[in-house]
Chain A
Amino acid sequence: MSMTITEKILARASGKKAVKAGELVNAKIDLVMCHEVTTPAAITMLIEKGIDKVFDKKRIVVTPDHFQPAKDIKSAELHKRLDEWAKRHKIKYYYKLGRAGVCHALLPEQGHIRPGEVIIGGDSHTCTYGAFACFSTGVGSTDLAAAIATGELWFKVPESEKIVLNGKLPKGVYSKDVILAVIARIGVDGALYRAMEFVGPALKDMSMEARMTMTNMAVEAGAKNGIIGFDATTKKYLAKRLKDKKTYKVYESDADAQYVATEEFDCAKLEPMVAMPSLPSNAVPISKCKGKPMDQAYIGSCTNGRIEDLRIAAKILKGREVKIRTIVVPATPTIWKQADDEGLFDVFYRAGCVIAAPTCGACLGGFMGILAAGEKCISTTNRNFVGRMGHPKSEVYLASPATAAASALTGKLEDPRKFL
């Protein structure tokens, strides 16, 4: 029977030769990601139900990130509960103190993501890891608790939707612009319950970082998972990083696998995109929204807080000065160090940016860059819902690091190509 890559991985994980979209399976989980917002509740549930155990202490990765370091007393309590649990169960990979970082940037960077595996995390953007040809999806605290204790979860095998990316990206256009254009076309529920499988020649020139920006936002189209096939770029990225087991199994979609929909995009025709408030699907080309005044620019998050993103922003900011509050947040300590070593902090400092320690922070309206009523922020994050970064009357505009940096310079939505 012909299968998609998602079906093949779920078949393997549920001990079956083949599975079909729509089928319910019980899958073995290879890796569980835990952070301080959703995991403490899972821990409490497990304790209350008398099943306070972990299925495998080497297959659970823990990092506080949302309110890291703790922003107030309540979040400090969450950190404390996470910390006590991780220590009590001797979780092998517990990133704390100066090693903690934004989960979806940290796990791939630290070599925890392997192709062909089934990964879940207590966070909706867990779909990010699909860039490495694995099945990965976000769950809530109860699912998380079940996976922590048993190493298994029920799944409905998703139907797959193929996103074909043709052509080469023009200068000033990045994978963030591609995914915004995709979501603008199919809508925030355009891939509801589905696997979003990205294919096509445009992927070839994209780094793993750039690919993760796209799979990261699969959930913004309602998808269960985003997935990209394995290639030389994947292999090279993993070779330097994999922890523990260095081997993995590569699955590929069969040529005659079933897709419920196929969408083709000509990347060569894309412009930098900006998603207007308050849905990621409200993206329009920069030529249609240029000039709108902003109050803050935010460069960071699991979508675009990686070293490549900081380099792109620095290139535009170099030798210039920002006109609005500009906050740069490297997503992990390694990225932070790398940015410092490469002299990017010097560029940001001279441009007048605030440089913060790795955290989700302002991305979810937590701390370190909250918006007041009426304020507008150009942000490299993935979600621009009402109140996402602060006051319900504030507004979030999603864009690439280049567009955010260019807009920081002029204080309005700006075309980055004029600075490149």
Chain B
Amino acid sequence: MSKAHVYKRDHINTDEIIPARYLNTDDEKELAKHCMEDLDAGFMKKVSKGDVIVSGEDFGCGSSREHAVWSLRGAGVQTIIARTFARIFYRNAINCGFYTIESKDAVERINDGDEVQIDYQAGIIEDKTNGQRIEFRPLPEFALEIIRDGGLLEHIKKVKG
């Protein structure tokens, strides 16, 4: 079971997820300390391992910094559910073996603090708090394969031997 942190806004950008002033390191634990800092200074106090973030359109827009994915992962976030994702963030997430879910209406149907359960293969989010059941289109097979292999580099090693 995961707790949902809902940010109703659109265009949550990489500078908000991990401000550039902290890009002088690529250490995941260091980055996690500042995760979402400029958007929600209390985020690190309330997030626990396995939680999910729910948001609007164009999540992760801005820079190509994979540090955004690392800081979220380092903070314990398991997945991001958004209406749409910015392209590079989406790609980085897959390459890091990190799940993303595109859902048109999750941001309206899940409330901040709700407990949710996700079936990534079947494409179902269950909101245990309000009883809602939300379907989503699972990631394309090639992306799931990369995630299952543990990220792009592991995948390449496997495929190319």
Contact yes or no, A49 B64, CB < 8 A: no
Among A67, A78, A188, max chain B CB count under 10 A is at A188
B65 adjacent to chain A (CB < 8 Å): yes
Among A78, A139, A224, max chain B CB count under 10 A is at A139
Question: Whole-angstrom distance between the alpha carbons of A143 and B90 in the complex?
Answer: 12
Contact yes or no, B160 A150, CB < 8 A: yes
Residues of A within 8 A of B (CB): 24, 37-38, 40-41, 44-46, 49-51, 66-67, 71-72, 74-75, 77-78, 122-124, 126, 138-143, 145-146, 149-150, 154, 188-189, 192-193, 219, 222, 224, 279, 364-366, 383, 385-388, 392
Contact yes or no, A142 B153, CB < 8 A: yes
Which DSSP category, helix, strand, loop or mixed, fits chain A's interface? Answer: loop
Question: Whole-angstrom distance between the alpha carbons of A279 and B13 in the complex?
Answer: 10
Contact yes or no, A41 B21, CB < 8 A: no
CB-CB nearest in chain A for B23? A37
Contact yes or no, B61 A139, CB < 8 A: no
Given contacts A51-B153, A146-B152, contact A140 B66 (CB under 8 A): yes
B72 to chain A, nearest CB (A): 13
Interface string of B122-161 (1 = CB under 8 A from A): 0000000000000000000010000000011110110010
Contact yes or no, B92 A45, CB < 8 A: no
Contact yes or no, A49 B153, CB < 8 A: yes
Question: Whole-angstrom distance between the alpha carbons of A185 and B142 in the complex?
Answer: 35
Question: Whole-angstrom distance between the alpha carbons of A180 and B157 in the complex?
Answer: 43
Total interface residues on B, CB under 8 Å, equals 40
CB-CB nearest in chain A for B16? A386
Question: Whole-angstrom distance between the alpha carbons of A193 and B160 in the complex?
Answer: 28
Contact yes or no, A75 B86, CB < 8 A: no
Contact yes or no, B20 A388, CB < 8 A: yes
Query: Restricting to B37-92, which residues have a CB under 8 Å from any CB of A?
Result: 38-39, 57-58, 61-67, 69, 84, 86-88, 91-92
Contact yes or no, B38 A143, CB < 8 A: no
Q: Which of A77, A124, A154, A189 contacts B88 (CB 8 A)?
A: A124
B140 to chain A, nearest CB (A): 8
Q: Which of B20, B92, B157 contacts A366 (CB 8 A)?
A: B20
Contact yes or no, B92 A67, CB < 8 A: no
CB-CB nearest in chain B for A360? B20
| Chain B residues within 8 Å of A140, by CB | 64-66, 69, 88, 91-92, 95
Given contacts A189-B57, A189-B61, A383-B62, contact A75 B87 (CB under 8 A): no
Given contacts A189-B57, A385-B15, contact A24 B62 (CB under 8 A): no
Contact yes or no, B23 A143, CB < 8 A: no
CB-CB nearest in chain B for A158? B87
B18 to chain A, nearest CB (A): 11
A–B complex contacts, Cβ < 8 Å, 27 sampled: A41-B66, A44-B26, A49-B153, A49-B154, A51-B156, A75-B24, A138-B64, A139-B64, A139-B91, A139-B92, A140-B64, A140-B88, A143-B91, A145-B153, A188-B58, A189-B57, A189-B58, A189-B86, A219-B88, A364-B23, A365-B15, A365-B21, A366-B20, A383-B15, A383-B63, A385-B15, A387-B15
